[in-house]
Amino acid sequence: MSLIAITHSLSPKLPACELTHLKRIPINMDKAQAEHEHYLQALKLAGYEVIEYTFNEGYPDCVFVEDTAIVVDELAVITNPGAASRRGETINMATALAKYRMLAHINAPATLDGGDVLRVGRKFFVGITTRTNRAGFESLKGILEPHDYQVYPIEVTGSLHLKSAVTALDSQTVIAAANWFDTPQIEAHCRLIAVAEGEEAAANVLRLGETIYMAEGYPRTRAIIEEAGYKVETIDIRELQKAESGLTCSSLLFTR
């Protein structure tokens, strides 16, 4: 089996991206491009075959491919993003993913962003947010449960997506900004490690092999994760964070 990373180039329209929780700040596109290239290099170093598409460059948020699909061994679920401006992105992504998986679809009135879908082992936690509605959760539950996955809803109040607030360190453990979402459902199934106070944005991490990648700028949370026994590396994504990005946002990772 080989490791596949589906990614997308930056749109020249990125400065006009969708924003929910942040004020619009000018994005330096040269710096954003350099950050993206460092991200792709980290994927390659971790053994992924990186496939970078350019077909959605007309959409400002196209680099954030995580929101367009959920990929498991059995199939790929094509989402229906909560922001109407992003729904066209899924058409080309469906064509791309059909090379690797059978497809299922989230259909209106259900909405679902991949950034609201956290996988921990065979459990999926789905954030109920401004982008993902209850019908989106129910649709994903109906698609995944026949394949022996468990799917649970999580109310999110403090961030754009669930995975802005909590991500997996391994198949049993999460790192979380616990004041941004309703924690009991996740705590019932996972070991929860809290980020340092004031470093809530550090909750979005990306596990590549045995290494946890986190955004630069959160030294106290890095120390917490390292003290828990994990190897940690950082990537500078300060420009992309102006678009409400986290490290998980810019790739779809799966095995061939």
* Residue range 65-114, pLDDT digits in tens: 999 999 999 999 999 999 999 999 999 999 999 999 999 999 999 999 99
- pLDDT at residue 13 in the model: 98
Query: Would you place residue 1 in the very low, low, confident or very high pLDDT band (cuts 50, 70, 90)?
Result: confident
pTM over 0.75: yes
Helix (H) or strand (E) holding 38: helix 29-45
The strand pairing partners of 105, in sequence order, are: 78
What tens digit of pLDDT does each residue of 201-244 get? 999 999 999 999 999 999 999 999 999 999 999 999 999 999 99
State residue 205's pLDDT score. 98
Let me know: does 177 contact 224? Beta carbons within 8 Å. Answer: no
Judge whether 14 and 26 are in contact, CB under 8 Å: no
Catalytic residues: 161, 249
**What pLDDT score was predicted for residue 69?**
99
pLDDT at site 213? 98
Tell which CATH architecture fits domain 3-255. Answer: 5-stranded Propeller (3.75)
- Mean pLDDT to the nearest integer, 38-61: 98
Averaged confidence pLDDT in the chain:
97
Q: In the prediction, which pLDDT does 21 show? A: 86
pLDDT on residue 136: 98
Q: What are phi and psi of 151, to 5 degrees?
A: -130, 125
* Three-state secondary structure call for residue 190: coil
CA-CA-CA-CA torsion for 235, 253, 164, 87, nearest 10 degrees?
A: 120
